[in-house]
Amino acid sequence: MNIVVLVKQVPNTTKVKLDPGTGNLIREGLEGIVNPDDLHAIEAAVRIKEENGAKVTAVSMGPPQAVDALTQAIGMGADQAILLCDRAFAGADTWATSLTLSRAIEKIGEYDLIFCGHQAIDGDTAQIGSQVADWLDIAQATYVKEIETISDREIIVKRRLENGFERVSCQLPALLTVIKDLNEPRFAHVERLITACTQKAPIQIWNAADIGVSTCEVGLEGSNTHVIKTFTPNFKRQNEILEGSKEEVVAKLFERLKKSDTTLAHIF
């Protein structure tokens, strides 16, 4: 069985810097971590490898330092990794990103399962998984919280819904986006990490030509959506301090909530 895991390196910082020209995040100089949901995706793939036997390939699109995320994936048990790295990929929206990832997966060739995290903490879009599945024309299951069984032809999973879950059978090949309930990610194995940091590390770097896309199809230029402005919202609120005895202040508060336009005004 061949498994691909899509991994994203995300900034771990309280300082947000934006490019005033494009409105996109300036990623240079920020400490990067593996997107939390993606750790669960790596773990899921590695567990299948351990139980059923599989070759696990981690794929990431990002700047050169995103190789750190792939090193960690190998440290956790992935067999090889591919970094999609090209200035032409920069500034991509989810359309262009999913195209880039899909072309890379097609180049990898055979795959039975693709795992990705449900969403990334920097963009919160949760779009890439479904879009990659559609580019590749394969089945998908999102919000996966449990994997029940895997055969050569299908995988049965539990998907979290708002008020419970559903059990779904998915034909292979399939793409699964996973949530934190699925598993507890392991720590990277130190020896594997050291190997992954050497010259012989099984990590390849591919650019636009390697995956056969033209630069106008990817990155900012290939994107359908563009940021036209960013602004810091004014978070200050009226800050009305309610005064009086504790009975009075609570009564005043509930009165204001009752008269407000909150959809929950009826509670008070």
Partner 1 sequence: MTIWIIEDQCDGCKRCQQACPYESIEVTDGVARVTDRCTSCGACVAACKKEAIGSDITPRQVPDFSDHTGIWVFAEQTDGHLANVGLELLGKARELSVHLNEDVSAVLIGKNVAGLCDTLAEHGAHNIYLVEDDLLEQYRTIAYTDVMQALVKEYKPGILLIGATALGRDLAPRVSRRVGAGLTADCTELSIDPDERILWQTRPAFGGNVMATIANRYSRPQMTTVRPGVMEKKTVTEGVANIIRFKPRLNEADIRTRVLEIVKEKKSVTDITEAGVIVAGGRGVGDKKGFDMLQKLADLLGGALACTRLIVEQGIMPQHAQVGQTGKTVRPEIFIACGISGAIQHRAGMMGSRYVIAINNDPKAPIFQVANWGIVGDVNDIVPEMIKQLSNGGTL
Return the number of the residue (78 or 136) whose C-beta is nearest partner 1.
136
- 139 lies in the site for partner 1, by CB under 8 A: yes
Which residues lie closer than 8 Å to 88 by C-beta, 6 or more apart?
Answer: 207, 208, 215, 218, 219, 221
- 126 lies in the site for partner 1, by CB under 8 A: yes
In whole angstroms, give the CA distance from residue 89 to residue 86.
5
Among 38, 43, 68, 93, binds partner 1 (CB under 8 A): 93
- Tell me the closest approach of the beta carbon of residue 105 to partner 1, in angstroms: 14
- Tell me the closest approach of the beta carbon of residue 162 to partner 1, in angstroms: 5
Return the number of the residue (125 or 151) whose C-beta is nearest partner 1.
125
Tokens of 160: 């979290």
- 184 lies in the site for partner 1, by CB under 8 A: no
- Tell me the closest approach of the beta carbon of residue 190 to partner 1, in angstroms: 25
- Tell me the closest approach of the beta carbon of residue 109 to partner 1, in angstroms: 19
In whole angstroms, give the CA distance from residue 210 to residue 89.
13
Among 18, 31, 50, 151, binds partner 1 (CB under 8 A): 18
CA–CA distances in Å: residue 250 to residues 83, 107, 169: 57, 64, 52
Among 23, 55, 186, 197, binds partner 1 (CB under 8 A): 23
Element holding 204 (H helix, E strand): strand 203-206
Which residues lie closer than 8 Å to 72 by C-beta, 6 or more apart?
Answer: 34, 42, 188, 193
- 153 lies in the site for partner 1, by CB under 8 A: no
Among 156, 188, 192, 201, binds partner 1 (CB under 8 A): 156
Exposed, middle or buried, 202 (CB in 10 Å: 0-12/13-18/19+)? middle
Window 237-256: residues binding partner 1 (CB under 8 A): 237-242, 246-247, 249-251, 253-254, 256
Among 1, 108, 168, 201, binds partner 1 (CB under 8 A): 168
- Tell me the closest approach of the beta carbon of residue 14 to partner 1, in angstroms: 5
CA atoms lying within 13 Å on the CB side of residue 238 = 4
- Tell me the closest approach of the beta carbon of residue 91 to partner 1, in angstroms: 13
Among 1, 49, 63, 127, binds partner 1 (CB under 8 A): 127
Return the number of the residue (163 or 198) whose C-beta is nearest partner 1.
163
Query: Which candidate, 127, 153, 154, 152, places its Cα nearest to that of 142?
Result: 127
Tokens of 190: 């130190």
Q: What angle do CA 59, 62, 68 make, to 5 degrees?
A: 70
Window 73-92: residues binding partner 1 (CB under 8 A): 86-88
Among 6, 59, 101, 170, binds partner 1 (CB under 8 A): 170
The amino acid occupying position 165 is F
